[in-house]
Structure 1
Amino acid sequence: MADVPTLDFSLVLAATVHDMKNSLGMLLGSIEETVEQFPPKTQAQSQYYALLHYEASRVNNDLIQLLGLYRLDQNQLLLQIEEQFVMDLLEEQTLRNKILFDARNINLEIDCPPHLSWYYDRDLIACVINNVLVNTLRYTKGKIKITAQATNGLTIQIADNGPGYPDHMLVDPLHFHSQKSINTHTGSTHLGLYFAQRIAQLHTQENSTGYIQLENNSELGGGVFKLVLP
């Protein structure tokens, strides 16, 4: 009897995640096209569209992060560091979630010098910013402010007027992926924060390394997510 070949489960899982991610990306595009062709006529319809978009975005972000972490583990994630305009990056991510912002009447403000540019991997940092925005929508009471400035590195902050981060989350994000951090009630694994920290750390300049930081008591009164790139 011929030997049965060993199944590389991690490779199969990565390929499956990649396929699911592509399908969800098409689904998100279809939802956006549907909203354009058949605009909601009532608040209930608007909320329904927003819920579909939110859940698809959330799962899609999780799959992108899983695939990214797998590639990091396999040393297959290649950085493409190029000079980019920061305002373009931030506006692009807010437009991706316009359906959600509109449906929930979110007042979103971007405070960023129009000609501010920096060197970073656009796709990876876009994924981090988009994930934070989608998660912030769950907790904000109606206001979100994105601030970007270049002082001892590029700092991007996303603040809201929600209840803020619980005390147990104001710790080193590298520990968020431990088994003890999994919330069995909500299913939260803090994967997004762990992914954000790993992506930030890939950005280095001389002796400086990127990092993320969580704080409370933002200028809007709630929590603030901070991404710093050297």
Structure 2
Amino acid sequence: MPENKKSFEINSVIDEQSIDFSFVIASAVHDMKNSLGMLLHSLDELRQEYAETLPNSSRFNTLQYETERVHSDLVQLLGLYRLGEKTLSAHTEEHFVPDFLSEQLARHQPLLNGHDIQYNIESGDINGFFDKDLLTGVLNNTINNAIRYTRGKILFTADQRGDYLVIGVEDDGEGYPSHMQEAGATLPGALNFANGSTSLGLYFASSVARLHREGDRSGFIKLHNQGQLGGGVFEIWLP
């Protein structure tokens, strides 16, 4: 075997062994997320262009919902990768909560209307300190889940409870099963891939909540069924 060929093969093996596949996967996920973001933008434009027909198309609404759901999953995966790499942190700023909730609603409003879902916001004129981008990622997933399980009503709430800002998303569906309410802040070891319930969104939400700290207090999430609509209630508590 020629010496230069042997050297090339040895170097190839070394290069393959040094590849950080978690970084490769994260880079691929990032590219997919951006592509889906462009697709969602195109779907919004199509909905406006064919406003007389597409909003009533169940197939188009399903396409937009599933695209939004996968996009949200990819955002969460990237967040969890950064969390594992210890590069994810909460950059808190003051926000007027009713305006923030209105922005979240506006993003999902075409899909809500397409599925004939009634929605409302109940919030006092309060301010909160939180990372807007991280909380948007949490609420995108929560709203998508509410759209999936609701019978036809969704409620967004926000209020001040003691030293915490509590933002909630309620629906009138079947509600959370008892084991999910008890788990609350799902740990990675509790993810159940066998039954298709990874609870990725809950783990991401819990992680984002914990990144918000004030003194010795940190954020957390709660799941229960004691809401105004009789279905599931997701709450994120931020100090």
Scaled to the shorter chain, the TM-score interval is over 0.9
- Specify which of 107, 127, 131 is matched with residue 96 of structure 1: 107
- Matched positions, count: 226
Where do 5+ consecutive residues of structure 2 fail to align? Answer: 1-6
Q: Secondary structure of the residue that 1:163 maps to in structure 2?
A: coil
CA distance in 1, matches of 2:31, 2:152: 35
TM-aligned CA distance change 1:226 to 1:179, over 3 Å: closer
Q: CA deviation at 1:20?
A: 0.5
Aligned mates of 1:179, 1:155 — CA distance in 2: 25
Q: Which residue of 1 aligns with 2:167?
A: 156
Q: Find the counterpart in structure 2 of residue 142 from structure 1.
A: 152
Residue type at the aligned position of 1:199 = V
> What SS does structure 1 have at the residue aligned with 2:148?
coil
CA displacement 1:99-141 (0-9 Å, x = unmatched): 221111111010012x311110000001111110111111111
Cα displacement (A) at 1:176:
5.0
Q: 2:70 aligns with which of 36, 59, 68?
A: 59
Correspondence for 1:3 among 4, 11, 14: 11
Question: Contact (CA 8 Å) 1:161, 1:222: kept in 2 or not?
Answer: yes
Cα distance between partner residues in 2 of 1:174 and 1:39: 41
Alignment of 1:28-177 (within 5 A): 28-41=40-53, 45=57, 47-113=58-124, 115-152=125-162, 153-175=164-186, 177=188
* Partner deviation per Cα, 1:127-168 (whole Å, 9 max, x = no partner): 111110111111111111111011221001111111111122
Structure with higher helix content: 2
Separation (CA, whole Å) in 2 of partners of 1:179 and 1:151:
29
Q: Do structure 1's residue 202 and structure 2's residue 211 form an aligned pair?
A: yes
Distance 1:180 1:82 in 2: 32
For residues 192 and 216 of structure 2, the distance between their equivalents in structure 1, rounded to whole angstroms, comes to: 31
Larger radius of gyration: 2
What is the deviation of 1:188?
Answer: 2.8
Between the two proteins, what is the percent identity of the paired residues?
42
Q: Which amino acid aligns with 2:157?
A: T
Deviations 1:182-215 (A, max 9, x none): 253xx33110000000000000111111000000
How big is each residue's C-alpha offset from its partner over 1:49-105, in whole Å with a ceiling of 9 and x where there is no partner? 211110011000000000000001101113221101111221111111122211111
User: Partner amino acid for 2:20?
Assistant: D
When normalised by structure 2's length, the TM-score is 0.89
Structure 1 pair 197–107 and aligned structure 2 pair: CA distance change class (3 A): same
C-alpha displacement of 1:179: 5.9
Instruction: Give the CA RMSD over aligned residues.
Output: 1.6
Deviation at 1:40, TM superposition (A): 4.1
Is the contact between residue 145 and residue 158 of structure 1 (CA under 8 Å) also seen in structure 2?
yes
Counterpart residue identity of residue 150, structure 2: T
Q: Give the secondary structure class of the aligned counterpart of 1:159.
A: strand
